[in-house]
Every structure is written in C-alpha cells, then in structure tokens.
Amino acid sequence: MLILAILLQFIGALTTLTTLVFLLAGSPNSTPKQLRAIKWMLRGSALVGLTSLVGGVTAMVNQQNKAACLFGLLPIVACIGLFVWLFLRGAPVPDRDKKDDGW
C-alpha cells in the first residue's frame, strides 16, 4: 500500500503541473476577464496540489497509507473536474447578426 501511495503522490504532482501548464498555455490571447479567471484557476490548482502533497506526505509519515492514497487522488480528480467544467462551459459563440462579433 505504501508503494501505491508514493505512486499516487507522484502522479498527483505531475497532474498538478500539467494543469498549470495547460492553463498558462491558454492565457496569452485572453481578455482581461478571462485572465482573471485563469489566475484564480491557477491559484486553486496550485493550492490543491500543494495541500495534497503535504497531506499525503504527512499521512505516509504517520503510516496512514490509505489516507495518503486519497490525498494522491485529490489533484487527479480536481484536474479532471476542472477540464470537464471548462469543456462543458465551451468557447463563446459570436452573434451572427452583429458586424463586430466580439472576438
């Protein structure tokens, strides 16, 4: 169980870094409103990843390997949830009747 906890902590840290890179990659051509949202998502993702890593290591030190596994799964679930939410939210569709579509 300890090996699984260590593996999940490693995968959770990589998931957090991947989430941060994807959010940063999408930010160059964003509006100020989108930039504010991206900054909050970056902060939230980093906080979830760091809290998960600290909680998982603390749980492993206290020999609570099941709790460490759950802490390792937390950033994975958060990343999947964030990307599903962003996908379902979708890109803005321009109004076809306007001359200036706002893009």
For the question of whether the overall pTM of this predicted structure is more than 0.85, the answer is no
CA 78 distance to own-chain centroid: 6
Are the C-beta atoms of residues 27 and 38 closer than 8 Å to each other?
yes
Residue 46 pLDDT? 95
Roughly what angle, to the nearest 10 degrees, separates helices 65-89 and 2-25? 20
pLDDT tens per residue across all 103 residues of the chain: 999 999 999 999 999 999 999 999 988 888 888 888 899 999 999 999 999 999 999 999 999 999 999 999 999 999 999 989 888 887 655 555 555 545 4
